[in-house]
Amino acid sequence: MTDWILRGGTVIDGTGAPRQRADVSIKGDRIAEIGTVSAAQGAGEIDVSGKVVAPGFIDVHTHDDRALFASPDMAAKASQGVTTVITGNCGVSLAPLALTQTPPPPLDLIGDAADYAYPRFADYLAALDRQPAAINAACLVGHSTLRVGAMPDLARAAGDAEIAAMGERLQEALDAGAIGMSTGLFYAPASAAPPAEIEALAKHLRHAGALYTTHMRDETEQVLDSLEESFHVGQAARVPVVISHHKTTGVRNFGRTKETLPKIAAAMQGQEIGLDAYPYIASSTVLRTQRIEDSLKVLITWSKSHPEQAGRELDAIARDWGVSVLEAADRLQPAGAIYWMMDEADVQRVLAFEHTMIGSDGLPHDVHPHPRLWGTFPRVLGHYCRDIGLFGLEVAVRKMTGLSAARFGLAGRGVLVPGAYADITVFDADTIIDRATFAAPTTPAAGIEHVFVNGQPVWSTGAATGARPGRALRRQQMRAEAR
């Protein structure tokens, strides 16, 4: 029996192929037909004429590990048309780790000690099964999370026994269904890890057919060396590599994506490499002194010691307090911030690069988050695609669907084809736009009409439906389905 018929829309299938006018029918959790679909008894008909019917968007770069439980409607994402998130990026995953003391930054971005309550990755995935969210999740294991669980002193390379202990936990996670491992070599918990440590762990990924994603050691002066290092992990372990939130930051590095993108393209000739990006010139993470010096402006997103300062500029806080900017930053810790440190031309160059996927890097627990959390996908479609004309709509959709599913091994998702999972986003290409701003960062986007996950509506004309059909996607199951 057909459950839903999306009537008369413009289908953009996620492969980059030209749009076509077609009806789409949904049966159970799958797409049944695409073409001219005759009316069926009992099916819900939705007139989507004049609207685009696309695969549900895949947010390949998220920190939603705990948000899936804390905000199961996942409104920040569903409101943008996102139907699947990749969690555990930048070296930070909620599992496998059980903590009794405060997690070191940046682990504190996704939870407190009590939230790190999953000694095994299987426990985390089982919790997702028990309390499903509105949208799907495919999960990475964070290298920094492994380090915090296995090393008493993070300021040095892991010893052989520690690598073995991390390897065991990583293997358990891969066996449970994790899709890969992420690193955050830029951050203190992992910056002392030498390439050999990463490569030793990455070997577990090869046997599992999993991938490696990395927030590189450096996105400033040494960005080319960091690319080399990342490629080398892929070569040594023979695994696909994804360069996270690619950018070159700091005024001295403006324009340097002219060097990095050709380097990535050249390396892609010999190995599997992907990259993601978010559509903004400001970045966001924990509050870090070095980043302050590289930034044109800094906005505080949260502060444990001065929560009332969230949403204010660091300069203004320092002036109010009559102290230096660095002193103010010190007093605000632990804290998070937004940093204006990129060049618009670089952002556009990276977004337009053929192989770039879209990932929000949104921080769902920040008090005053970067607007990328609520705005990324509609901003790419409305601002960069329609208004600026950076690429066509078919290309834009592919960057958030088909390309992403192929790169991350999400079988049966990311393309609209009969038999695929019915993860579908219906949007208005003329009105879609992000409305989240740096001043009002949690404003939902305009132009997203209907969002289906596994055949069930989760977002409809501006509101969550309350349905929670999201699944914890396991690597083994997806590999079996891909065959």
Residues that bind Zn ion (CB under 5 A): 90, 215
Q: Does 376 bind Cu ion (CB under 5 A)?
A: no
Q: Does 309 bind Cu ion (CB under 5 A)?
A: no
Whether the CB-CB separation of 178 and 141 falls below 8 Å is answered with yes
Apex CA 386: angle with CA 461 and CA 254, to 5°?
120
Whether the CB-CB separation of 451 and 459 falls below 8 Å is answered with yes
What's the CA gap between 81 and 360, in Å, rounded?
Answer: 12
Stretches 87-95, 376-384, 416-424, 472-480: which one binds Cu ion (CB under 5 A)?
Answer: 87-95
Q: Which residues are within 8 A (CB) of 400 and not within 5 positions of it... i.e. 6 or more apart?
A: 57, 58, 59, 357, 358, 377, 380
- Residue of 227, 139, 135, 122 whose CA lies nearest to 182: 139
From the list Zn ion, Cu ion, none, which binds 350 (C-beta under 5 to 8 Å, kind-based)?
none
Nearer to Cu ion, 31 or 211 (CB): 211
Q: Does 90 bind Cu ion (CB under 5 A)?
A: yes
* Least distance from Zn ion to the Cβ atom of residue 11, Å: 34
* Least distance from Cu ion to the Cβ atom of residue 398, Å: 22
* Least distance from Cu ion to the Cβ atom of residue 276, Å: 9
Q: Exposure string (b/e) for 167-194, b if CB count within 10 Å is 16 or more?
A: bebbbbbbbbbbbbbbbbbbbebbebbe
Q: How many residues bind Cu ion (CB under 5 A)?
A: 3
Stretches 90-98, 142-150, 191-199, 300-308: which one binds Cu ion (CB under 5 A)?
Answer: 90-98
Nearer to Zn ion, 289 or 324 (CB): 289
Stretches 7-15, 295-303, 356-364, 415-423: which one binds Cu ion (CB under 5 A)?
Answer: 356-364
What's the CA gap between 34 and 397, in Å, rounded?
Answer: 18
From the list Cu ion, Zn ion, none, which binds 140 (C-beta under 5 to 8 Å, kind-based)?
none
Nearer to Zn ion, 90 or 381 (CB): 90
Whether the CB-CB separation of 25 and 45 falls below 8 Å is answered with no
Nearer to Cu ion, 212 or 427 (CB): 212
Whether the CB-CB separation of 387 and 434 falls below 8 Å is answered with no
Nearer to Cu ion, 343 or 361 (CB): 361
Out of 162, 361, 423, 449, point to the residue binding Cu ion (CB under 5 A): 361
Q: Does 89 bind Cu ion (CB under 5 A)?
A: yes
Stretches 156-164, 170-178, 264-272, 359-367: which one binds Cu ion (CB under 5 A)?
Answer: 359-367
From the list Zn ion, Cu ion, none, which binds 134 (C-beta under 5 to 8 Å, kind-based)?
none
- Structure token digits, residue 247: 């950018």
Whether the CB-CB separation of 220 and 248 falls below 8 Å is answered with yes
* Least distance from Zn ion to the Cβ atom of residue 198, Å: 15
Query: Which residue's Cβ lies closest to Cu ion?
Result: 90
Nearer to Cu ion, 215 or 386 (CB): 215
* Least distance from Cu ion to the Cβ atom of residue 37, Å: 40
**Other C-beta atoms lying within 10 Å of the C-beta of residue 237:** 21
What's the CA gap between 363 and 148, in Å, rounded?
Answer: 21
From the list Zn ion, Cu ion, none, which binds 310 (C-beta under 5 to 8 Å, kind-based)?
none
**Other C-beta atoms lying within 10 Å of the C-beta of residue 252:** 11
Sign of CA dihedral 286, 121, 422, 41: negative
Stretches 81-89, 154-162, 308-316, 464-472: which one binds Cu ion (CB under 5 A)?
Answer: 81-89
Contact set with Cu ion (CB under 5 A): 89-90, 361
